[in-house]
Amino acid sequence: MFKDITIGQYIDGSSFLHRMNASMKIILTFVIIVMLFVISHIVPYVLFIAFSVFLVFLSKVPPLYILKGLRPMIFIIVFTVILNLFLTPGETLWQQKILFGWTVKITYEGVRMSILMFLRLTLLVTVTSLLTLTTSPIMLTDGIEKILKPLEVIKVPAHEIAMMMSIAIRFIPTLAEETEKIIKAQTARGADFESGNIIMRAKAMIPILVPLFVSAFRRADELATAMDARCYHGGKNRTRMKQMKMCANDYIAAGMTVLLSAVLLLTQYLI
Amino acid sequence: MIKTENLNYIYQPGMPYEKHALYDVNIEIPDGDFVAVIGHTGSGKSTLIQHLNGLIKPTSGHIFIDGTDITQPKVDMKSIRKKVGLVFQYPEHQLFEETVYKDIAFGPKNMGLHQDEIKERVMEASRLVNIDESILEKSPFDLSGGQKRRVAIAGVLSMHPKILILDEPTAGLDPRGRDSLLEVLTSLHDKLNMTIILVSHSMEDVAKVAKNIIVMNKGTVFMHGSVAEVFERGRELIEIGLNVPQVTQLFNKLNEMGAGLPADIYTVKYAAKILDERMKGINNV
């Protein structure tokens, strides 16, 4: 279950998306996500879905990989869909009396809203996992650092934030793997994580969480020592092995995103 | 008895990182055996042993524990895991309680045993692995590496397994810790007639304690035989990146130089005995 999380699992490649500048990719992903939350009509959604499919194709990441990345999100998506389906007020399509005079009803707006939320969340995960699948964590944080750089004027610790994020991202798969090993070790001792009521299940998590925290702290300690040993002292006067530069690809991508946004806004507000 | 039939396992099928970890593994481990599993990193050793108590379900094939096919649905996995105890490489992955006592008691508690019975089993298990009673009230995180491993083993022994599987239990231990751990394993085997499956990278350890050896290579069983049978084929072992014990290497070199010593020397103890006899022979002449 844990190894399915695709965040932070970079797939090496040399596609158009892989070769793009990380800062540009982050900014454009952000723009696309904002667009995703602006649009609500069917035409822009169809366009958006087509564009996402095009992006997946462009990234050359196996589509199955992205679908697997969606799996841990299923609960949240289903939950949101159900909430929206039953709790949106509006024109009633179907209703049913249940106990104590409560009625459940499904409205036209509710159906519309839940389809919208389903598409929104799925596309959101797809687009963001494309970013992390085609950008190595180091590139990603370099990109974030570049974007935050102008804010250093108002004392935002851009380098430190970027470093903390890169470490966090880097350790997600490691800790996930570790969690799996711990679960196996405790299962071998007859621990049961699947049955019982909610309190029993929460209690059953303790044998997993304690070793996980202990190991996370130990790793943090070791990492700090390793960084110290190599004279890490923050971002000041730090040079880079790989200089990030904008190239033609990035301008093409930016142009495409602006064009897409314009088309989405037009179809959203004019049709 | 453990038996596997055409066991196959594929990690992440259909994914870019798909990996065929086990190919048609057929092994039979009789009761009371002490078998070592050796092989290169990534040869499928760990994957294989995790199949034996059902932590991993095979992609295809069957596993029989005392005649029960554990790959069938509706098999009571808890009773299988009670029968086949598995100790992982890093004790850090399983120690979590406030005290050593409570940690060893975790397994029996999960089996739903009575307090008195649990206490008896904890005491017995800690005796078996030479844990002093004074340690039982300490935090498991304050122990040395060797002690942690022994506590982890006690945590599995307290469930009274018939078969004990250990994944590289001596890795990262100092010589004393390693020796005392191997002694524990030998006494479990000799005194309780427990079946022991030991995954190891150390040919010395294997030669010292095991009776039989399974050699894994690239997901297949490369050899399966007695210690002597396997180490006799030293050249083949070296070809797949493994080796024979250092003392065997030394004796092979001596024999190449014409020393005329026996070829079946795998432990330092036996080597010393042979050399001793040789010296006596020379002195008597």
Enter the ipTM. Answer: 0.83
Examine residue A146 and state whether it is found in any structural domain, yes or no: no
Q: Is the dihedral of CA B75, B76, B77, B80 positive or negative?
A: negative
Q: Give ∠ CA B256-B258-B264 in degrees, rounded to 5.
A: 65
Confidence of residue B62 (pLDDT cuts 50, 70, 90): very high
Is the CA virtual torsion A105, A111, A113, A117 positive or negative? Answer: positive
Listed residue (B89, B63, B75, B71) closest to B1, CA to CA: B63
Same domain for A57 and A117, yes or no, is yes
Residue A142 belongs to a domain: no
Q: For chain A, how many structural domains are there in total? A: 2
Cβ-Cβ contacts under 8 Å, A218 against chain B: 92
Q: Are strands B2-11 and B19-25 parallel, antiparallel or unpaired?
A: antiparallel
Least Cα separation, residue A209 to chain B (angstroms): 8
Contact B92 A206 (CB under 8 A): no
The pairs formed by B125-128 with CB atoms below 8 angstroms and a separation of 24 or more are B125/B154, B125/B155, B125/B157, B125/B158, B126/B100, B126/B154, B128/B154, B128/B157, B128/B184, B128/B187, B128/B188, B128/B192
Predicted local distance difference test score (pLDDT) of residue A8 = 53
Residues A131 and A73 in one domain: yes
- pLDDT bin (cut points 50, 70, 90) of residue A136 is confident
- Indicate the helix (H) or strand (E) that contains B84: strand B84-87
Instruction: Verify that A120 and A215 share a domain, yes or no.
Output: no
A265, A231: one domain? no
How distant, in Å, are the alpha carbons of A7, A12, A132, A221, B86 from that of A166?
12, 17, 12, 16, 36
CB contact at 8 A, A77 and A122 = yes
Taking CB atoms and an 8 Å limit, are B110 and A191 in contact across chains?
Answer: yes
Residue A4 forms part of a structural domain: yes
CATH of B2-233, picked from 3.30.300.30, 3.40.50.300, 2.30.130.10, 3.30.70.580, is 3.40.50.300
Closest Cα in chain A, distance from residue B50 (Å): 9
Question: Cα A266 from chain centroid?
Answer: 28
- Residue A5 within a domain: yes
Q: Does A185 touch chain B (CB under 8 A)?
A: yes
Best of A12, A61, A189, A200 to disrupt the B interface by mutation (most B CBs within 10 Å)?
A: A189
Same domain, A41 and A118: yes
pLDDT digits (tens, 9 = 90+) for B234-277: 889 988 888 888 888 888 888 889 888 888 888 888 888 888 88
A232 and A249: one domain?
no
β-bridge mates for residue B148, sequence order: none
Q: Answer for the pair B98, B141: CB distance below 8 angstroms, yes or no.
A: no
Contact B94 A211 (CB under 8 A): yes
Residue with tokens 């084929």: B233
**B78 with A192: Cβ contact below 8 A:** yes
My answer on whether A17 and A125 are in the same domain is yes
Query: Is residue A90 in a domain?
Result: yes
What pLDDT does residue B232 have? 86
| Residue A4: domain span | 1-135+245-271
Task: Show the tokens assigned to A124.
Answer: 């959101």
Judge whether A122 lies within some domain.
yes
- In this structure, are A114 and A178 located in the same domain? no
Q: Which residues of B touch A192 (CB under 8 A)?
A: 78, 110
User: A189 vs B78: CB contact, 8 Å cut-off?
Assistant: no
Domain ranges of chain B: 2-233, 245-285
Is residue A145 included in any domain, yes or no? no
A185, B78: Cβ pair inside 8 Å? no
Q: Would A83 be classed as within a structural domain?
A: yes
All residues at 6 or more sequence positions from A154 whose CB lies less than 8 Å from its CB, including other chains: none
B110 contacts on A by Cβ (under 8 Å): 189-192
Taking only the tens place, the pLDDT of each residue in B112-169 is 899 999 999 999 999 888 888 899 999 999 998 889 999 999 999 999 999 999 998 8
